[in-house]
Structure 1
Amino acid sequence: MSGPAQNAGRPAGLFDARPVPGFSDIDWSRGWLAPLADRGTRWQQSALESYPAYLSTLNADARAEPRVTGRGKVLSFIAQDDLPAGASYEGHIAATGCVPTRHNLHDFFNGAMWFQYPRIKAALNARQATEIDALGIGPSRGAARDALTLFDENAILFACADPLLAAALRAFDWRAVFIGHRAAWGQACEAHIFGHALLEKLIAPYKACTGHAWIVEVEPAYFLAADAERRAILDLHVSDRLASEPVSSRCFTPLPVLGVPGWWQENEARSFYDDPHVFRPGRRRIGA
């Protein structure tokens, strides 16, 4: 599906003839999308039908599985045009529970995260609303809101039970992370994409696509739990940190998405990781 709704918010490049991905281009077999597939396929069909049908499906799920936004308001979804003039996006969500939602992939994945990680989304919304209350809306968001937005748009939750592996990731030691510790993936570490802009970009995957990893220390028993239980553990741990700790760009470390074992067939060859334009040496260490 393509058209004006799919191009909303996307600059028109004069020499960019690539088609803009739409709802029909979602491949639920991708490793990073598979956890969203059960709900996502229903939403996809509604989105392909019409904008009203899509919003209706999102709101039906919100009624069936109630969530709250940053200030305890019950979650619902509204058309983008229903956002009052002059209202801030995050402030409106916190104050009313209503998430302005466009008929495009970006907002599709944003909505999905409200169900996958409701506590994290609420914590981000609360922090954003507090920053807006304190500083207002200006030409720039400021460092704190920039970091919160970076999390919301591009974060990867990197669950890790091995401090050595976490240290290797922070040090940009790609061969250790993806080759030396390859057997640890699924046993001592794993990645979950949270950022909805990152999920949108990955509809048309490319090698250099990189997320911002937020390292979550977990116990080894975490990896014995079912997928839904692991997501709930991450949701609780990360939301607690977001509510209580300062957030800055230094809380993240880069993670090239297609390097994750099991997510891209080409990375089964060791030479995949030899590309210095993607797997770059770090200029500094980034703590989490």
Structure 2
Amino acid sequence: MSSNNLKNSNNTKTRFMAPVQWSANVLSENPIFNDLCQRYPLANWANWPALTTLNHWLEHSDYKLVDNAVLEQDGRYYEQFIYETGRVPTRLNNWHDLFGAGIWGLFPQTKALLNQLHMAEIAVHGLKQRSKLRNKLTLFDECGVIICLEPAAFQHAELLRAHQWQQSFVLKRSDWWQVIRPIIFGHAIYEMATRPFLGLTAKCLFLSVPTGFSQWPLTDAYRFLDKKLTQQIANGALLLDNQQLTPLPLLGVPKWWQGNCSADFYKNTGYFRPLTVKK
């Protein structure tokens, strides 16, 4: 995908709209989707995948996808319906829910845990009052990117938290994909990447991983992360940590956008914003 096609969010007030039609090129030409295209044959499909196809992605999960019409007829709240039935309402021919299905397939334990934590919070606070933890759960679920840090890359967590974009993305660029591995969890981030724009920002969840993790096969890497996320999110403390879920200008991640090969790309302080210190 050419950087000439990059939309600049600073010049438009229009609401984001994903492509209406199915297009395998949207996925195959954008390196942000490399993991998904390696795990699933998305780039080979001529049309939107059927629900039966998507359910093959959840073969290692106790949950199954169902047409969203089932939820509309049922009347229960989305999270409640999933919790009580083990069925995930899914809109057909829809990018957002397509990527949601992909994440259920890649992180089955973590997705199930997030649903359980939502229901535990609803039991305490009710449906109308969203707790801080529920907001964090939703933020990670929609916009999270896991920054997997091998021991040699721990300093990148502090650099990214401090918005030291030049230090991490330019001066220490060679660390990326060698000792630091970004992995998308938030399905809304995948959806917005179908039409990338300056301003596209995710939320970092920093996790330590073993030396060599960045070169692990995808299946092993995702299985490891699913287990580790489940363990660390279980008590809610990880997501409530103010050092987590900090901003990540997604198009600045090396190899995820061809326009960021030049150091000048990172001089756009409207996108790569300096850290604002609260007084």
Residue type of the partner of 1:191? P
- Once the two structures are TM-superposed, the CA of residue 223 in structure 1 deviates from its matched residue by 2.6
Which position in structure 1 is the counterpart of 2:193? 202
Contact 1:46 1:57 in 2 (8 A): no
Contact 1:159 1:190 in 2 (8 A): yes
> Runs (4+) of structure 1 moved beyond 6 Å?
none
Contact 1:90 1:128 in 2 (8 A): yes
- Once the two structures are TM-superposed, the CA of residue 41 in structure 1 deviates from its matched residue by 1.5
For residue 58 of structure 1, the aligned residue among 54, 61, 69 is 54
Residue type of the partner of 2:69? D
SS of aligned partner of 1:152: helix
Contact 1:91 1:132 in 2 (8 A): no
Q: Which runs of 5+ in 2 are unaligned?
A: 1-12
Report % sequence identity: 30
C-alpha separation in 1, matches of 2:45 and 2:121: 34
Q: Give the 3 Å change call, closer, same or farther, for CA 20–210 of structure 1 in structure 2.
A: closer
Q: Deviations over 1:125-169 (max 9, x none)?
A: 11112112222211x422111110001000001001222111111
Question: Are 1:47 and 2:86 an aligned pair?
Answer: no
Greater relative contact order (CA < 8 Å, ≥ 6 in sequence): 2
Contact 2:140 2:186 in 1 (8 A): yes
Q: Give the 3 Å change call, closer, same or farther, for CA 242–284 of structure 1 in structure 2.
A: farther
- Once the two structures are TM-superposed, the CA of residue 283 in structure 1 deviates from its matched residue by 2.0
CA RMSD, 1 decimal: 2.3
Q: Give the 3 Å change call, closer, same or farther, for CA 228–177 of structure 1 in structure 2.
A: same
For residue 251 of structure 2, the aligned residue among 230, 247, 258 is 258
Contact 2:18 2:195 in 1 (8 A): no
Contact 2:28 2:43 in 1 (8 A): no
Q: How many residues align?
A: 257
SS of aligned partner of 1:216: strand
SS of aligned partner of 2:234: helix
Q: Which runs of 5+ in 1 are unaligned?
A: 1-14, 49-53, 68-73
TM-score, normalised by the number of residues in structure 1: 0.82
C-alpha separation in 2, matches of 1:16 and 1:245: 35
SS of aligned partner of 1:26: helix
Q: Give the 3 Å change call, closer, same or farther, for CA 59–27 of structure 1 in structure 2.
A: closer
SS of aligned partner of 2:194: coil
- Once the two structures are TM-superposed, the CA of residue 105 in structure 1 deviates from its matched residue by 0.7
TM-score, normalised by the number of residues in structure 2: 0.84
C-alpha separation in 1, matches of 2:112 and 2:164: 33
Question: Are 1:100 and 2:89 an aligned pair?
Answer: yes
Q: Give the 3 Å change call, closer, same or farther, for CA 66–42 of structure 1 in structure 2.
A: farther
- Once the two structures are TM-superposed, the CA of residue 86 in structure 1 deviates from its matched residue by 3.6
Question: Are 1:81 and 2:88 an aligned pair?
Answer: no
SS of aligned partner of 1:27: helix
Contact 1:147 1:249 in 2 (8 A): no
SS of aligned partner of 1:137: coil
Contact 1:109 1:199 in 2 (8 A): yes
C-alpha separation in 2, matches of 1:111 and 1:40: 14
Which position in structure 2 is the counterpart of 1:192? 183
Contact 2:99 2:191 in 1 (8 A): yes
